Structure 1
Amino acid sequence: MQILEKISENVVGAVALPLSVAPNFKIDDLEYLVPMCTEESSVVAACSNGARLVHANGGFTTTAPPDPYMTGMIQLIELDNSQRVVEHLNSQREAILSEANRGHHHCRATDAAATVLGPDSAVLTVRVSVGDSMGANAINRMMEAVGRWLDVAPGRVLCRILSNDAKGRVYTASATLSGSGEDRGRLGDLSRAFELAQALPERAVTHNKGIMNGVIAVAMASGQDTRAIEAANHLYAGSGGQYKPLSRCVVTESADTTTLTITVDVACPIGVVGGLTTFHPACRAALGLLPETTADCLGRTMACAGLASNIAALRALVGVGINAGHLRLHDKKKG
C-alpha cells in the first residue's frame, strides 16, 4: 500500500494486470526477453510470433536519436509590441538557458527561441536534452522558473508547460521477411495491406493501434507515461499534413524470392530515472530484463515490440482475420 500511495491519491486498492515476457526477440544481434504488461489477450502471443518470424530472417535492426530532446513552452500575452518582445527575448538566449538549467542534473536546456503568435502574444520555446529521463517534470520546473524570471511588462506570462511532441525522440526498427514458393503470395498479401493504411487515415489509425499494442505493453511494464507516448505518436503520424501509418513496407522481387523490408518509427518520450522506475519493484524487475537499463535500450525495445505486433496483426488480417485469431486464443484459454 505504501508504494501505491506514492503513485496516486485516495488509494483504496489496486487493479492488477499481468506482467508477461515475450521471447524470440533478436535486436541488433542480441537476444532479448521483452517485458510486457497489457489487459488485452493475444498481444503478447502476437508479439512473440511476429518476433519469431523476424528472428528467422536475421532479427531486428534499430536506430536511436543521438541526443534525445523535448521542448518546453512559455506563452506570453497582453504584450504592447510582440515583435519587440520577441527580439528582446532572442537577445537574452544565454541568460534564459542559464536560468532554465539552474539546479537540474538529468536534463539540460540547450537552445531557446521566441516567436510571434499575434499582435499582443508570443511564445518562448526551449529545447531540452533529456538523456535517460522522460523529462516532463524537469521541463515543467524549468519553464516555471524561467516564467518567474522573465520581465515582459506590461505583458504577462500565461502558460508554462512542456510539449509532448517527441520528434526528437524517435526510435526506428526494421525487419526483413523473405519467402519463395507459396510464401511469396502470403508476403504479397501482407505488403498490400500496407497500401490501405497509406491511402486512408481511417485505416491508418487502426494500423497504428496495432503498433501501439506492443509499444504500450512494454511501456506499462517499465513504468512509463503511456498517455504521453500515445499522444506523441499520433502527432508524429500526422506531422506530414495527413495522418499516416507509423510503419512502411518496401517490396523487393527477384526471380524466385519476395522480400519485404518493414520499418517503423516510434516516438518515445520515456525515461529510466525518476517516476515509477525509481521505486516500483515490478517496473525495476522489468527493466532488469533488458541488456541495459537506459532510455536508449528501452526505446529500441519498444520500437521492435511495436513492429512485431504490427507484423503479427497484418498477417492475421490478411489470413484468418483479427477476430478469429483473438477468439482462437480465448477459446484455448477457456479450455
Structure 2
Amino acid sequence: MEAPRLYSTKRVQSLKPTKKIPLEEDPTKASDALPLPLHLTNAVFFTLFFSVVYFLLSRWREKIRTSTPLHVVTFSEIIAILAFFTSFIYLLGFFGLDFVQSLVFRPSPDVWIAEDEEEENEVLLAKEDARKVPCGQALDCLLPPLPPAAPIVTAQKVFDEKPVTVLTEEDEEIIKSVVAGTTPSYSLESKLGDCKRAAAIRREALQRLTGKSLSGLPLDGFDYESILGQCCEMPVGYVQIPVGIAGPLLVNGREYSVPMATTEGCLVASTNRGCKAIHLSGGATSVLLKDGMTRAPCVRFGTAKRAADLKLYLEDPDNFETLSVVFNRSSRFGRLQGIKCAIAGKNLYIRFTCSTGDAMGMNMVSKGVQNVLDFLQTDFPDMDVIGISGNYCSDKKPAAVNWIEGRGKSVVCEVIIKGDVVRKVLKTSVESLVELNMLKNLTGSAMAGALGGFNAHASNIVAAIYIATGQDPAQNVESSHCITMMEAVNEGKDLHISVTMPSIEVGTVGGGTQLASQSACLNLLGVKGASKETPGANARMLATIVAGAVLAGELSLMSAIAAGQLVKSHMKYNRSSKDVSKGSS
C-alpha cells in the first residue's frame, strides 16, 4: 500500500538550492533558425504530409485495380515516399515526442510536489540574496522558519459532517480547477491515472459546488478500477444495498440459496417462506421454452412497395442461410434464429432473434444486425437506416411483442403444494388462494389494462435478484412479464401453481456480473461466468432460478393476502423506529 503523502516540515536553512537562478533569460528560440515563420513551416509540412498520403493511396489503389505489383514504384512514387517520411519525422518531432513522453514518463505526484518545494526554496533563496543588510551584520542570518505544513482540511459548510482531509496540495489545486470548470470532471481518471483518487477529488469538488454533504455515501472499500470504461462514469462513491438469502429453493432436483439485494422489509422473508413451502412439497419444475435475444432496426424506403420487397426477401426461407452467414460473423456465440418484419407505411421494422451464449447479448445481436444491414445495402441501395433500434425489439419498455413472442429466456415454472403445507406453512386454504388469484391476478389485472402484469409482485423478486447478480435493473420492465396461475388439484386437496415468464433477460458474463460482489452472488448460485461444457447453460440456469424464486414469492404473498396477514407483517418487518442515518459514516 502506498504510504500517505505528507508535507515537508523542514526549516528553510536546511534546504539547498538545486538550480541556478538566471538573472536574464535568453530570448532566442530554436524556431528562429527556421527559414519561414513557425506557423508557415507547420502548414507546409501538414500540407505535404496529407498530399503525399493521398497520392500514394491513389496510386496503390490503381495498382490493385490493374494487378500491378505494389513493389514496382515510379520516380514520382519514390519522391512521394521520401516526402512522406520527411514530413512524418518533422511532425513527430514537433508534436509527438512531448506527448509520448508525457504518457510514458509521466512523473509521479511526489515528483511534482518535490518540484513545487524546489521552486519555493529558490524564491526564498532569492529573497535572502536581495537583503540590504549583509549577513554578517544581521541579528539572525537564518531565514524565519516555515510553520509545519498541516494537511488541508476543507471548511465546514452549512451541513454537519466530518471534515474531509485532502492529503496533498496538488489535490487541492485539482479540486479548485474542477470547481472553476477549467478541468472537466470526467477527465480526472485519465489525467491522474488513479481511479480512487479521481473519485475522491470529484466527490469533494461536488460537495463544494452544491454545498451538500455526501458524508453518508461510502468512498473507501470499492475497486474503482473495475468499473472504469464499462459500468459507471464519474463515480463519487457507491450505494450500499443489503443482500439477503432466500432458500434453499428446490428446482429441478437442485437446491439454490437465492441472493436478493433489496431495502424492502418482508421481501426476503416472504420469498423464503415460499421456498420452504415448495421444498416441503417436493420441489418445483422449471422448463426453458425459448432462448433468443432480439434487436429490431428501423429502415425507410421511398415507397411502401420497396419496404414490402425487403420484407418478403428477409422472410423468404431460401435467403435465411445467406443472412445467417453474414449475421454470425459478429461472434462465435451469436447465431441467428429468425427474422420477423412489420411494416408501417414505407417504414420497415426488422426484428432479429439470435442466441447469445452466456451473455445477455444486446451488444452481440447489435453487431450481427449491423453486419446484415451493411450486406443489404448492396441489393437495396435506396434503404435508409433510421436507427439500429426501432423499439420493435423491445428493450426496457413494456411491449406486447415481448409478451407474445418472448425475448431473452422464456420460462415456465410449476409446483404442486400439498394441502397440509398450505394450511400449516402458508396459513390459508387452497380454495382461498384459487379464488384470490382469479379475482386479483387475472380479473383485476385485466380491469387495469395490464400488459404482462398478471401477477402479484414478480418485479419485486426479479429486481432484487438482478441487482444482486449484476444484471441490468432496467430490464426488470420486460423480465417481470409474468402470469400466475393457480388451480385446485387432487380432488381440491392440493394447489397447483405456475408462473409463465416469456422474457427473462439475464447473463452470467459481461456488464455488472464481473464486479466482485455480484460475481460472488453468481458463484453462490453456481452460475458464475461462462459455462465450459455447454455455451449458454449458466445463463439458462439463472433464468430458471429467477422463475423459481418468483414462484416462491407469488405463493407467499398471495397466501399472506388471503390470510389477511399482509398489513400486519409489513407493520412488523417493514417499519423501523431506529434512525439508521445517524449510524452512517
Work out whether the TM-score is over 0.5. yes
Q: Which position in structure 1 is the counterpart of 2:79?
A: none
Report the residue type matching 1:187 in the other structure: V
Match of 1:148 among 360, 374, 377: 374
Report the residue type matching 2:365 in the other structure: I
Match of 1:72 among 295, 307, 316: 295
Q: Which position in structure 2 is the counterpart of 1:249?
A: 486
Q: Which structure: greater strand fraction?
A: 1
Q: CA deviation at 1:333?
A: 8.7
Do the aligned partners of residues 328 and 113 (structure 1) sit closer, same or farther apart at CA in structure 2, a change above 3 Å counting?
closer
Note the 1:94-109 alignment, pairs <5 A: 94-109=321-336
Q: Deviations over 1:272-291 (max 9, x none)?
A: 122122x2011111111124
Greater mean alpha carbon deviation, residues 178-187 or residues 218-227: 178-187
In structure 1, distance between residues paired with 2:365 and 2:573: 43
Kindly indicate whether the alpha-carbon contact (under 8 Å) linking 2:271 and 2:552 is maintained by their aligned counterparts in 1: yes
In structure 2, distance between residues paired with 1:228 and 1:284: 19
Do the aligned partners of residues 89 and 312 (structure 1) sit closer, same or farther apart at CA in structure 2, a change above 3 Å counting?
closer
In structure 1, distance between residues paired with 2:285 and 2:574: 32
Q: Which position in structure 1 is the counterpart of 2:353?
A: 127
Greater mean alpha carbon deviation, residues 218-227 or residues 78-87: 78-87
Report the residue type matching 2:469 in the other structure: S
In structure 2, distance between residues paired with 1:109 and 1:258: 47
**Structure 2 unmatched ranges of 5 or more:** 1-223, 396-401, 529-537, 579-585
Do the aligned partners of residues 333 and 258 (structure 1) sit closer, same or farther apart at CA in structure 2, a change above 3 Å counting?
farther
Q: Is residue 17 from structure 1 mapped to residue 241 from structure 2 by the alignment?
A: yes
Report the residue type matching 2:262 in the other structure: T
Do the aligned partners of residues 182 and 123 (structure 1) sit closer, same or farther apart at CA in structure 2, a change above 3 Å counting?
closer
In structure 1, distance between residues paired with 2:515 and 2:422: 48
In structure 2, distance between residues paired with 1:88 and 1:203: 40
Do the aligned partners of residues 69 and 32 (structure 1) sit closer, same or farther apart at CA in structure 2, a change above 3 Å counting?
same
Do the aligned partners of residues 333 and 60 (structure 1) sit closer, same or farther apart at CA in structure 2, a change above 3 Å counting?
farther
In structure 1, distance between residues paired with 2:478 and 2:284: 25
Task: Provide the secondary structure at the position in 1 that maps to 2:296.
Answer: strand
Report the residue type matching 1:163 in the other structure: S
TM-score of the pair, normalised by structure 1 = 0.85
Q: Is residue 226 from structure 1 mapped to residue 473 from structure 2 by the alignment?
A: yes
Q: CA deviation at 1:263?
A: 0.3
Greater mean alpha carbon deviation, residues 49-58 or residues 135-144: 135-144
In structure 2, distance between residues paired with 1:37 and 1:310: 18
In structure 1, distance between residues paired with 2:341 and 2:422: 59
Q: Is residue 306 from structure 1 mapped to residue 550 from structure 2 by the alignment?
A: yes
Q: CA deviation at 1:318?
A: 1.4
Q: Deviations over 1:161-184 (max 9, x none)?
A: 353433462112112222269939
Kindly indicate whether the alpha-carbon contact (under 8 Å) linking 2:340 and 2:351 is maintained by their aligned counterparts in 1: yes
Report the residue type matching 2:468 in the other structure: A
Q: Deviations over 1:50-76 (max 9, x none)?
A: 1111211112111113x5112222222
Q: Which position in structure 1 is the counterpart of 2:309?
A: 84
Do the aligned partners of residues 296 and 89 (structure 1) sit closer, same or farther apart at CA in structure 2, a change above 3 Å counting?
closer
**Structure 1 unmatched ranges of 5 or more:** 238-245
Do the aligned partners of residues 305 and 204 (structure 1) sit closer, same or farther apart at CA in structure 2, a change above 3 Å counting?
farther
Quote the sequence identity (%). 23
Do the aligned partners of residues 310 and 319 (structure 1) sit closer, same or farther apart at CA in structure 2, a change above 3 Å counting?
same
Kindly indicate whether the alpha-carbon contact (under 8 Å) linking 1:4 and 1:11 is maintained by their aligned counterparts in 2: no
Report the residue type matching 2:568 in the other structure: A
Q: Which position in structure 2 is the counterpart of 1:243?
A: none
Task: Provide the secondary structure at the position in 2 that maps to 1:150.
Answer: helix
Do the aligned partners of residues 188 and 37 (structure 1) sit closer, same or farther apart at CA in structure 2, a change above 3 Å counting?
same
Do the aligned partners of residues 103 and 83 (structure 1) sit closer, same or farther apart at CA in structure 2, a change above 3 Å counting?
closer
Q: Deviations over 1:247-268 (max 9, x none)?
A: 10111253xx611100001231
Q: Which position in structure 2 is the counterpart of 1:171?
A: 411
Q: Which position in structure 2 is the counterpart of 1:137?
A: 363
Do the aligned partners of residues 58 and 107 (structure 1) sit closer, same or farther apart at CA in structure 2, a change above 3 Å counting?
same
Q: Which position in structure 1 is the counterpart of 2:458?
A: 211
Q: Deviations over 1:99-137 (max 9, x none)?
A: 22213122211333545432x222333221123221111
Aligned residues: 320
Q: CA deviation at 1:209?
A: 5.2
TM-score of the pair, normalised by structure 2 = 0.51
In structure 1, distance between residues paired with 2:475 and 2:554: 20
When the two chains are superposed, the root-mean-square deviation of aligned CA atoms in Å is: 2.8
Kindly indicate whether the alpha-carbon contact (under 8 Å) linking 1:75 and 1:121 is maintained by their aligned counterparts in 2: yes
Higher relative contact order (CA 8 A, sep 6+): 1
Greater mean alpha carbon deviation, residues 183-192 or residues 216-225: 183-192
Kindly indicate whether the alpha-carbon contact (under 8 Å) linking 1:214 and 1:308 is maintained by their aligned counterparts in 2: no
Q: Is residue 63 from structure 1 mapped to residue 287 from structure 2 by the alignment?
A: yes
In structure 2, distance between residues paired with 1:295 and 1:27: 15
Kindly indicate whether the alpha-carbon contact (under 8 Å) linking 2:339 and 2:351 is maintained by their aligned counterparts in 1: yes
